[in-house]
Amino acid sequence: MTFTTSANAAQAPYLPNQRYFPIEGELLQRELNNSFADIAKSVNAREIGMYSQSVTATGQRFEMERSEPTEESKRRILMFGPIAAGATSILPHNLSGFDRFTRIYGVGQTQNDWRPIPFTSVVAITDQISIVVDRVNVTIRNGATGVALQSALVVVEFI
């Protein structure tokens, strides 16, 4: 069976479903070493699904410029308490030594539903929920006519 892939897809972590292992000692050793290296590369290239209030690795790599080595991003979650309609909640993220944020997102829980953060409303601009992160704090602003949030979870990823 043959197939073609684009250059990017060929670099994706992919392991074949089957592998031939020779019986001869030296050839077997070489094939086992290659197999282990392929497995390690594929496992290390996946995104890590651990979300913690401590800083953890994401498994994502960013190639910022061709001359620089890739940078691994890190992630941290922050838990906010209640945020009333029209209120602003500010929480220090306690991060240092980072260059930039790569992703900022979250979810807010109301009495009746969950809302993505940021949240946009087609009904009224004052129903929206915004999020801003600076060098020190994460700030959530709940719109003046929005629904009170019982809590919010924010994820920041950075390099």
pLDDT per residue over 91-139, tens digit each? 999 999 998 999 999 999 999 999 999 999 999 999 999 999 999 999 9
Per-chain mean pLDDT for the chain? 87
pLDDT tens by residue, 70-98: 788 999 999 999 999 999 999 999 999 99
User: What does the pLDDT read at residue 11?
Assistant: 57
Rg of the chain over all Cα atoms, to the nearest angstrom: 22
Q: Are 155 and 108 in contact, with CB atoms under 8 Å apart?
A: no
| Number of compact structural domains in the chain | 2
Q: Is 136 a member of any domain?
A: yes
Per the structure, the complete domain to which residue 23 belongs is given by 7-44
- Check residue 72 and give its pLDDT: 85
9 has a pLDDT exceeding 60: no
Residues 19 and 73 in one domain: no
Return the CATH number at 93. Answer: 2.60.40
Query: What would the mean pLDDT of 2-20 be, rounded to a whole number?
Result: 58
51 occurs within a structural domain: no
Quick check: is 1 in a domain? Answer: no
With helix as H, strand as E and coil as C, how does the chain read?
CCCCCCHHHHCCCCCCCCCCCCCCHHHHHHHHHHHHHHHHHHHHCCCCCCCCCCCEEEEEEECCCCCCCCEEEEEEEEEECCECCCCEEEEECCCCCCCCEEEEEEEEECCCCEEEECECCCCCHHHCEEEEECCCEEEEEECCCCCCECEEEEEEEEC
Q: Higher pLDDT residue, 69 or 77?
A: 77
Quote the pLDDT of residue 128.
96
Looking at residue 94, its pLDDT comes to 96
Residues 103 and 146 in one domain: yes
